[in-house]
Amino acid sequence: MNHPAKISVVIPARNEAANLRTILPGLVALLPDAEILVIDDGSSDDTAAACLESRVKHLRHLYPKGNGAAIKTGARAACGDVIVFMDGDGQHKPEDVPVLLEKFMEGYDMVVGARQAGSQAGLHRAAANDIFSRFASWMVAQPIADLTSGFRVVRASRFRQFLYLLPNGFSYPTTITMSFFRAGYSVAYVPIHTPRRISGTSHVHPMRDGLRFLLIIIRIGTLFSPQKLFLPISAGFFLTGLSYYLYTYLTAGRFTNMSALLFISAVFTFLIGIVSEQISALHYKNIDTRDHEGE
C-alpha cells in the first residue's frame, strides 16, 4: 500500500521466532516500503535468523529489559514519521495495519486497535482491561475503548516526547495513552479482533503482575489527574469525620480526637492533591517546544 509519510513498524519480541516467521512475510508484502524493526529483548531462540529470513532490521538487547524498554529502543531507532507498534506473538494481524493507517490519515495523532469481545487472552485480563479503561476514561473525561492494547499507530515526534515517562514493563500502552490525552492530542480507536497467540507462552503472569496493575491505577491518578484521585479521598475523610462528629455530639455531647484526625486528614489530602496537580503540569510545560524540535 502507498502512504505519503515514511512508515516504521516496531515489533518488540522475546523468544517469538516461530510467531515472527508467520507474521513477518505478510507484513513485508503488505508494507514493502516500510522500515520494519524487530526489537529482540534478550531472546534465547533464533529470533535473529527469523528476521534475516524476512530481511527486516534486528536490534537486540543484551539481556531482557522488558516490553516497554523494547518499545523505547524501537522508537529511538525508527526513521519513519509514523510508527506502527505491534506485538510479536502473532495476535496482531498485519492486515489490520492499513485500517489503522487509514484512520490515522484523518488527522489523528494516535490510533489504537481496540480489542473486541473474545479477543482477550482470558476472562481475568478482559475484566482487568475493562476496569482500567473505565477508570482512565473517568480520569481524562474521554472514552477509552482499550487502555492496554499494544497495537497502535502514532506520530513519531509526539510519541518520543513521552519516552522518559514510559516504564520498562508491560504498562507502556497505559502511560502513553494517558499522556496523549493529557497533552490534548487526538486519539482514535479502531475495533479489531485478535486471535490467541500462535505459539509459545505469554510473559505476563496475573499473580505476579496483579500488584503492578494496581500500582498502574494509582500512577495514572497521581501522574495525569491528581485532583480526581485525591479530591474524592479528601471528601471521604471529611464526610466520615463529620458523620462521626454528629454521632458523638448527639450521643455523648462531645467532639472526639478521631473526628479531629479525620478532618485534618481531609485537609492534608486535599493539599497533597493541589501540589500533585502542579507537579503533574510540569511534565507538559515545554511540550510545544519539544514537538517542534522533533519535527
Q: What is the pLDDT of residue 147?
A: 84
Return the domain boundaries, the chain.
Answer: 7-204, 226-291
Q: Are 92 and 151 in contact (CB under 8 A)?
A: yes
Q: Pick from 172, 161, 171, 184: which is nearest to 76 by CA?
A: 161
Q: Is 157 left (phi over 0), alpha (psi -120 to 50) or beta?
A: alpha
Cell, residue 52? 534475516
**pLDDT per position as a tens digit, 40-65:** 999 999 999 999 999 999 999 999 99
Q: How far apart are CA 290 and CA 295, in angstroms?
A: 9
15: left (phi over 0), alpha (psi -120 to 50) or beta: left
Q: Which residues contact 231 (CB under 8 A, 6 or more apart)?
A: 270, 273
CB 83 within 8 A of CB 159: yes
Query: Distance between CA 215 and CA 198 in Å, rounded?
Result: 30
123, pLDDT greater than 80: no
Tell the burial category of 252 from Cβ atoms under 10 Å away from its Cβ (0-12, 13-18, 19+): exposed
Q: What's the rounded Cα separation, in Å, for the pair 132 and 148?
A: 8
Residue 274 has pLDDT above 80, yes or no: yes
Using alpha carbons, select from 48, 59, 1 the residue that is nearest to residue 20.
48
Tens digit of pLDDT for each residue in 177-192?
A: 988 988 889 999 999 9
Average pLDDT, the chain: 85
CATH of domain 7-204: 3.90.550.10
The pLDDT-based confidence of 292 (bands split at 50, 70, 90) is low
What pLDDT band is residue 202 in, cutting at 50, 70 and 90?
A: low
Question: Could you tell me if 126 and 171 are in contact, meaning their C-beta atoms sit under 8 angstroms apart?
Answer: no
**What whole-number distance in Å separates Cα of residue 86 and Cα of residue 232?**
37
> With 70 as the cut, is the pLDDT of residue 4 above it?
no
Percent of the chain whose pLDDT exceeds 90: 53
For 236-265, write each residue's pLDDT tens digit: 999 999 999 998 988 888 888 899 999 999
204 pLDDT band (50/70/90 cuts)? low
| Strands 110-115, 152-155: pairing kind | antiparallel
Over residues 138-179, the pLDDT tens digits come to: 877 788 888 888 999 999 999 999 998 888 877 788 889 988
CA atoms of 226 and 122, how far apart (whole Å)? 31
